Chains A and B, each alone.
Chain A
Amino acid sequence: MAARGSCPGCGSAALVEDAHYAQQQLVCAACGCVLAEGLLTTTYAEEEHLREVAYSQSTGQKEQLSRCLQRGIRRVQDLCKVLHLPTVFEETAVSYFQRALQHPSFHLVSLEKKELLGGCCVFVTCRQHNWPLTMGTICSLLYAKQELFAGVYLSLQKELGLSVPALSLGDLVKTHLNSFRLFQHAADIPASFVEDKEKMVARTMQIVELASETWLVTGRHPVPIVTAAAFLSWQSLQPAARLTCTFARFCKLAGVDLPAPAHLRLKELLEILLRMASQLAWLRVFNMDKKTVIKHIGDLLQHRIFLLKNAFCLEDEEEPRAVAAGEGSPGSPAAGGAAQEEGCPSEGKRQREGGPRPLLPPCLLNPRKRLRTAAPSASDSAITGDEPISDSEIEQYLRGPEEIRAFRKAKAWL
């Protein structure tokens, strides 16, 4: 193809664009003089119009990483997209995943565990940014067993030395209630069951805070508590219409699972509320029971600080329990015990109805009867480990020849 201009050497106008190997050159057809050589690089102006390719999508990364790692990274990215997480989370999770796979203890685990590892990295990232994500959600997204997930999560935390802050209950309440279907009118939900989201979230938060103050939350799975609190707050906002609705029906209408412990949490919450109601002046005249107390949850929550102080005996310095007093620990002088007596007259008689009971976790209030192993006796502690062993003692563990024959015959039949 003829190009414009004239050759400086011979003045001919026959300029041709020819490629010398890979390089474009402007050559004079007459004398062979090279006028211009093609540029190996494009100018900045030209590159501006090119589409920027992210490294993760270029082939460069594919060639550097193993297929397993690529698949894992893609899984992590998909999880983040499904959960609508910000992009920062995705980068952090991918970096954790890469670090983990390089670690010798994760390098050779089964494929199933490697998939769980991706989910664990997303979970850890969310927790570090205080994004309320429960293990149940991740397990259901990965179709994983919770025990296996728990094992991988704990070993990931240990190997990479990650510090994961605790799940914040407040955020969990908001996120969990987001999935409830009772905030808009629908065909299968009666009109009186629909509730305003803000009011329900606020009241559920208050009930959950009350539960955490009264030792109902420590050591327990958080989701059943939130579900039970949501049910109570929903009922209390319109008790007339909703008292007849059962817990199971509420969960079905709301479109959430009813976890098994939620019934027990509900019972415990109601017991706390009943005790508080017994201290409220204008409720003392009524005979409160589990159903009627729900109507007054609003008042109880409003005055909860005062009511908690009066309804429950708060723990003092010295242990009040009679069992502890008998242990003879040097740290409980008699003077402290006397002061304790004044502050809480019914301390030792917890069974008496109406009297303030100590504010303790339920596992201490209803201790299960356990076989207590006896403390090592004097004869036990006298063992030196080098005593002579009598032959007769050992003989009792050996079979005699007839017994062996009989055993052999019996095994042959099996």
Chain B
Amino acid sequence: MNNARTDRSLEGAMTPGIPIFSPMMPYGTGLTPQPVQSTNSLSILEEQQRQQQQQQAAQQSTSQQATQGTSGQTPQLFHSQTLTTAPLPGTTPLYPSPMTPMTPITPATPASESSGIVPQLQNIVSTVNLGCKLDLKTIALRARNAEYNPKRFAAVIMRIREPRTTALIFSSGKMVCTGAKSEEQSRLAARKYARVVQKLGFPAKFLDFKIQNMVGSCDVKFPIRLEGLVLTHQQFSSYEPELFPGLIYRMIKPRIVLLIFVSGKVVLTGAKVRAEIYEAFENIYPILKGFRKTT
């Protein structure tokens, strides 16, 4: 009863639709019924809500990590999830998000249903804009690890040893970095290339770093009847033994292309984030298991 009055009195001050009444909110925390709310108490209210939400989020994440620790599948994935969805300190959101438990992108499946196989990332392709025009001849002359053959290709091919990657550097200042085995490695490698270009005398910056493609592979450890798979999943699969020994499966959600071979090895490509590869593999594994017991 008391709370209903406070709710109506606050309605004019705060924007409507904010769920003030949540189970975690203790009654009477600075909500003295006043016709006009000063901004100070408004921010205090939001601060309190945010703190409680963060506490709850922290509790949720630790409990989830505990359950996932046993299977040890993708701890890194869940870790990054807690960072991105918790509200950043310092920003006061106009609509404090409702106190719902945090949902990870890949739902926590019990260990018996999941495949237990984690695809390994084999290649990451990323692009970055160095932000200045480059003279490729100078770069090829003054850098040891560069090759430049303008008749064959209009870019300098540069390689570094750690992380073992290759970069294509164009005269417009755009650069493509390939060969890294993780997103962080790709970013570090791209920064190293930018530093090399900087030391060669160009005002290189590091703008718009973006991962364009991720390739992963794994092995389901049993042979697969590709002819059967193409019959049942005709709208997604393309199997042409005359052209290529593997079956090309174009998954709609997530939008990933899988190359499935008779030996049971699967290559997944076309992902922009790591979670897409994991999700695609979890989607295809039950389908492939269905083709195992044919004799």
Contacts and interface: CB of A to CB of B under 8 A. Distances in A.
A192 interface: no
17 contacts: A218-B224, A219-B226, A219-B261, A315-B293, A327-B221, A330-B111, A331-B116, A361-B262, A364-B223, A381-B182, A383-B163, A385-B183, A394-B195, A394-B196, A396-B144, A399-B143, A404-B141
A376 B261 contact: no
Given A157-B238, A330-B111, A394-B196, A215 B181 contact: no
Contacts of A136: 242
A200 B112 CA distance: 51
A377 to B, nearest CB: 11
A398 interface: yes
A395 B116 contact: no
Contact of B181 (A164, A380, A404): A380
B181 to A, nearest CB: 6
B76 A381 contact: yes
Contacts of A386: 187-188
Contacts of A324: 221
A380 B262 contact: no
A293 B181 CA distance: 51
A383 B71 contact: no
B241 A219 contact: yes
B196 to A, nearest CB: 5
Contact of B185 (A212, A383, A404): A383
B241 A221 contact: yes
A134 B115 CA distance: 38
A360 B162 CA distance: 40
Chain B at the A interface: SS class: loop
Interface string B109-145: 0011001110010100000000000000000011111
Given A375-B120, A404-B141, 17 more contacts: A135-B240, A150-B243, A153-B243, A166-B227, A166-B231, A221-B241, A319-B222, A321-B221, A331-B112, A331-B115, A385-B183, A385-B187, A393-B162, A397-B143, A397-B196, A398-B144, A398-B196
A218 B160 CA distance: 41
| Those 5 A-B pairs whose CB atoms lie nearest each other, nearest first | A385-B187, A385-B184, A219-B245, A219-B262, A218-B262
A135 B142 contact: no
Interface of B: 71, 76, 111-112, 115-117, 120, 122, 141-145, 160, 162-163, 181-188, 191-192, 195-196, 199-200, 221-227, 230-231, 234-235, 238-243, 245-246, 261-264, 292-293, 295
A215 B221 contact: no
Contacts of B122: 373
Contacts of B115: 331
Interface residues of A, number: 56
Nearest to B292: A315
A383 B182 contact: yes
A163 interface: yes
Nearest to B225: A218
A249 interface: no
A276 to B, nearest CB: 15
A135 B243 contact: yes
Contacts of A82: none
A319 B221 contact: yes
Nearest to B117: A329
A222 B240 CA distance: 10
Interface in A279-337: 314-315, 319, 321, 324, 327, 329-331
Given A380-B182, A398-B143, A215 B295 contact: no
B262 A376 contact: no
A391 B187 CA distance: 18
B125 to A, nearest CB: 15
Contacts of A134: 242
